[in-house]
Amino acid sequence: MTLTKMTLAAALLGATTLGAQAADLRIALQSDADVLDPDQSRTFVGRIVYTSLCDKLVDITPDLEIIPQLATEWSFSEDGKQLTMKLRDDAVFHDGTPFDAEAVAANIDRSQNLETSRRKSELSSITGVEVLGSHEIRFDLADADATLMAQFADRAGMMVSPTAAEAAGDDFGLNPVCSGPYQFKERVAQDRIVLEKFADYYNADDFHFDTVTYLPIPDTTVRLANLQSGDVDMIERLAATDLAQAEGDDGINVESAVSLGYQGITINVANGEKGDNPWGNDKRLRQALSYAIDREAINQVVFNGAFAAGNQPFPPNSPWYSTDFPVPERDVEKAKELLAEAGFADGIDLEVQVPNTTIPLQLMQVVQSMAAEAGINISITSKEFATLLADQSAGDYQASQIGWSGRVDPDGNIHQFMTSDGGINDSKFSNPEVDELLNKARKSNDQDVRRESYTAARAILNEELPIVYLYHQTWIWALDAGLTGFTAYPDGMIRLDGVMKAEG
């Protein structure tokens, strides 16, 4: 009896302390970030933390236009091989080091030369950096690079304190020092990352919380429960299946934006011996698979209609989507015809590897039953993600259900997958014409030229189908109804300027 009383008393005491600190914003993330060094880090959630911690040279609008952040203006030379940038003169790093052109030069050097840097390929076009004045800098490029500004709008453009970086070396990530609106306070691995307001931020008035706490809560149900119980103020990546529940709750607001990424089935076309099979050798089979799938039905069945059906590396609402090739309707007869033409009128087997988590498995089961109606017998091999990735990279697969989180510049969604020597071309698809078109798009700063190139490449890729695109994830945030000022961005980041809690 006494124990129950004690339990209750403790519970009540615990409950009263909840929500007491109004100046703290608590955000639940789907997973824990990796090392907090913009040059070394790899995770999506890491980037969410950086959005408040580390300012970038430039930022994006929800419509993917590049806008000033630490750089105030910029221009490319006629031939596109020189980029001149003016920098703001009122920014300072969290350790007091002033932000200037020298700091930018040091950052580019670090991103390019730190042995553990993951930013090397993103900045590979930069061959020289010239400091023109205290707050003016010029980048010399090996060749015109249309993707560079978008790289500067992400981790490659994040500026860390050169003083702190030099002192800490590889260990910088244990105590990151940047110039964003919030500075690093503490981190307990797998538990929380806490940032506190940086008083000397040039735009400090726009940020309304004393501290921001990021909590990794992997389970979607538990994440939503934490929001409903008031333990957190905001959660990212609400499951599409929980959408109805969240929308039905008066205490919760839901915001969403179609992501920049895609999900699809990558088919091994020429990656080692395993690519040498009818699926790798005959595009008609891949076309048949694509025709057999009802993409909108997948969206409805697996994602409650919350995501976007797709057939290209860019979502249909993207300015880069080629409208000449709309999402195809399902056509089982056409699929059967193609199979028959290829000599498989009696059906054919296909082994697809799938990450062993709920959503990919559900997705593939739906695809499996759709494909079966056309005579394609899919066997699903579910693998733990690290294994799947290793097998895919080594060419030890026939087809693989995998996706890409997406990049601001269209190049990031297609070039490295579809060019002959692309770094993540696990299909080992190779077509000289596609190579030429994608390289051309990468080098032109003219939007129309780029769009034409992508459309021309799409015409070929839509025939060849080394990747059968299926859908585009929608980022769904759920927020406490008392939170205002949040804007949904297609990059999935959480920008806190203007976000505040209503009184009471």
Partner 1 sequence: MLSFILRRLVIAIPTIILISVFVFTLQKLLPGDPVLAMAGEERDPQVLEFLREKYRLNDPIPVQYFTWIGNALTGDLGISLRTNQPVLELIGEKLPVTIQLATMAMIFAMVIGIPAGIFSAVKKGTVTDYVANVVALSGLSIPNFWLGIMLILLVSVKWKLLPASGYVPLSEDPLRSITVMLMPAFVLGTALAATLMRHTRSAMLSVMSSDYVRTARAKGLVERKVILKHAFRNALTPIVTLTALLFGELIAGAVLTEQIFTIPGFGKLVVDAVFNRDYAVVQGIVLVTAVGFIFMNLLADVAYVLLNPRLRKQ
Maximum C-alpha span of the chain: 82
Distances (CA, A) of 109 to 157, 160, 198, 389: 12, 12, 26, 31
- Choice between 117 and 253, CB closer to partner 1: 117
Nearer to partner 1, 85 or 493 (CB): 493
CA dihedral 324, 329, 333, 338 (to 10 degrees): 40
Return the number of the residue (301 or 389) whose C-beta is nearest partner 1: 389
Query: What whole-number distance in Å separates Cα of residue 503 and Cα of residue 22?
Result: 9
* Residue 287: closest CA among 357, 335, 336, 350: 335
Q: How far is the CB of 345 from partner 1 (least distance, A)?
A: 37
Residue type at 25 in one-letter notation: L
Tokens describing residue 436: 């030429």
Residue 62 CB: number of other CB atoms within 10 A? 12
Return the structure tokens found at 399: 């087809």
Q: Which residue has the tokens 């698979």?
A: 289
Q: How far is the CB of 217 from partner 1 (least distance, A)?
A: 5
Sheet holding 262-267, edge to edge: 308-309, 467-472, 262-267, 399-404, 348-355, 376-383
Q: Which is nearer to partner 1, 283 or 383 (CB)?
A: 383
DSSP 329: P
* Sites for partner 1 among residues 423-442 (CB under 8 A): 423-424
Q: How many CB atoms lie within 10 A of CB 291?
A: 22
Of the candidates 95, 136, 196, 231, which one interacts with partner 1 according to CB under 8 A?
Answer: 231
From the CB of 72, what's the least distance to partner 1, in Å?
29
From the CB of 190, what's the least distance to partner 1, in Å?
Answer: 4
Give min distance, CB of 161 to partner 1, in A.
18
Q: What is the C-alpha end-to-end distance of the chain, expressed in Å?
A: 37
Binding residue for partner 1, selected from 1, 12, 20, 199, defined by CB under 8 A? 12
The token pair at 435 is 């190579």
**Binding flags for partner 1, 361-390, as an x/- string (CB under 8 A):** -----------------------xxxx-xx
Asked whether the beta carbons of 177 and 158 are under 8 A apart, the reply is no
- Please count the residues of this chain forming the interface with partner 1, following the rule CB under 8 A: 54
Q: Which is nearer to partner 1, 381 or 455 (CB)?
A: 381
Q: Tell me the closest approach of the beta carbon of residue 167 to partner 1, in angstroms.
A: 15
- Only one of the segments 5-13, 127-135, 283-291, 337-345 lies at the binding site for partner 1 (rule: CB under 8 A); that segment is 5-13
Does the footprint of partner 1 cover residue 395 (CB under 8 A)? no
475 binds partner 1 (CB under 8 A): no
Tell me which residue has tokens 């014409």. Answer: 433
Amino acid sitting at position 87: L
Identify the burial level of 317 via C-beta atoms within 10 angstroms of its C-beta, where 0-12 means exposed, 13-18 middle and 19 or more buried. Answer: exposed
Q: What angle do CA 423, 426, 429 make, to 5 degrees?
A: 95
**Cβ distance to partner 1 smaller for residue 65 or 191:** 191
Residue 190 engages partner 1 in binding (rule: CB under 8 A): yes
Does 244 bind partner 1 (CB under 8 A)? Our answer is no
Which residues in 17-56 contact partner 1 (CB under 8 A)?
17-18, 32, 34-35, 42-43
449 touching partner 1, by CB under 8 A: no
- CA-based Rg of the chain, rounded to a whole angstrom? 24
Closest by Cα among 234, 230, 235 to 220: 235
* Least separation in angstroms between CB 434 and partner 1: 21
Span of 194-202, 227-235, 305-313, 469-477 interacting with partner 1 by CB under 8 A? 227-235
Q: Using the minimum distance from each CB to partner 1, give the nearer residue, 430 or 462.
A: 430
Interaction of residue 186 with partner 1, rule CB under 8 A: no
Of residues 274 and 283, the one with the C-beta less far from partner 1: 274
Q: How many helices (H) and strands (E) does the chain have?
A: 16, 21
Which residue among 102, 136, 391, 464 contacts partner 1 (CB under 8 A)? 391
Q: Which of residues 75-134 bind partner 1 (CB under 8 A)?
A: 115-118, 120-121
Cβ proximity to partner 1, 366 vs 418, nearer residue: 418
Q: Please answer whether residues 270 and 317 qualify as being in contact, where contact means their C-beta atoms are separated by less than 8 angstroms.
A: no
* One of 225, 332, 459, 483 touching partner 1 (CB under 8 A): 225
Q: Which two tokens stand for residue 138?
A: 């010029």
By CB under 8 A, the residues from 142 to 171 that bind partner 1 are 170-171
Q: Which is nearer to partner 1, 229 or 445 (CB)?
A: 229
Residue pair 493/274 in contact (Cβ under 8 Å)? The answer is no
Which strands form 126-133's sheet, in the order they lie side by side?
71-76, 82-87, 136-141, 126-133
Give the x/- contact pattern for partner 1 in 407-426, rule: CB under 8 A: ----------------xx--
Q: What is the DSSP letter of 254?
A: E
Could you list the residues that contact partner 1 (CB under 8 A)?
A: 3, 7, 10-15, 17-18, 32, 34-35, 42-43, 115-118, 120-121, 170-171, 173-174, 188-191, 215-219, 221-222, 225-226, 228-231, 384-387, 389-391, 393, 404-405, 423-424
